[in-house]
Amino acid sequence: MRSGSKVLDVAAGNGNSSLAAARRWADVTSTDYAPDLLAHGRRRAEAERLAIRFQEADAEAMPFPDGAFDVVHSNAVIEHVGGRERQEAFVREAVRVGRRVFVTTPNRWFPIEVHTRLPLVHWLPEGPAGRAYDLAGKSWARENRLLGPSDLRVLFPGPVEIRNLGLTLVAIA
């Protein structure tokens, strides 16, 4: 990737993770590497403070033309968008607007559930897992839809490489 490449951070916290990832993908360590980064998510003020352009929109129906970005990056968001249909729509849009797509997500088969830091609870059936989350004061975790490598692979409409890093899965399309 070269300076000026168009990078979209989908559902960004502030765009900073995509900036770091873009530098990594380009094998550039210099802080003067500056892709044209558009953060797409909820934290406008923080993105603007970092001088990163920000646009709020629906990640399942993005207002960008096909292939508008050199890279679309999404860090640990897909498990929060809902069930499989919504996850497929999320991936379909990322693939539509990006020439390359990098999606990360916590690995369902890692023994610690990373959002709650609870061991093994996410391997229980939905009812007992939900009760365990409630008892731990983490009821919000009921909404997460964690993915394993094969779950992530089938969300992509075409070829995808899945890298299992243990705690994290990375999909590269």
Decide if pLDDT at 14 tops 50: no
- Domains defined for the chain, CATH in brackets: 6-108+146-172 (3.40.50.150), 110-143 (no CATH)
Quick one: pLDDT at residue 71?
85
Decide if pLDDT at 52 tops 80: no
Give the pLDDT band of residue 172 (cuts 50, 70, 90).
very high
Give the pLDDT band of residue 110 (cuts 50, 70, 90).
very high
**18-43: average pLDDT:** 44
Token duo for residue 29? 């360590």
Burial class (CB in 10 A: 0-12, 13-18, 19+), 43: middle
Structure pTM? 0.79
Give the pLDDT band of residue 61 (cuts 50, 70, 90).
confident
The C-alpha atoms of residue 56 and residue 170 are separated, in whole angstroms, by 24
Query: Is there a contact between 21 and 88 (Cβ–Cβ < 8 Å)?
Result: no
Decide if pLDDT at 86 tops 50: yes
The C-alpha atoms of residue 110 and residue 112 are separated, in whole angstroms, by 6
The C-alpha atoms of residue 25 and residue 156 are separated, in whole angstroms, by 21
Query: Is there a contact between 43 and 16 (Cβ–Cβ < 8 Å)?
Result: no
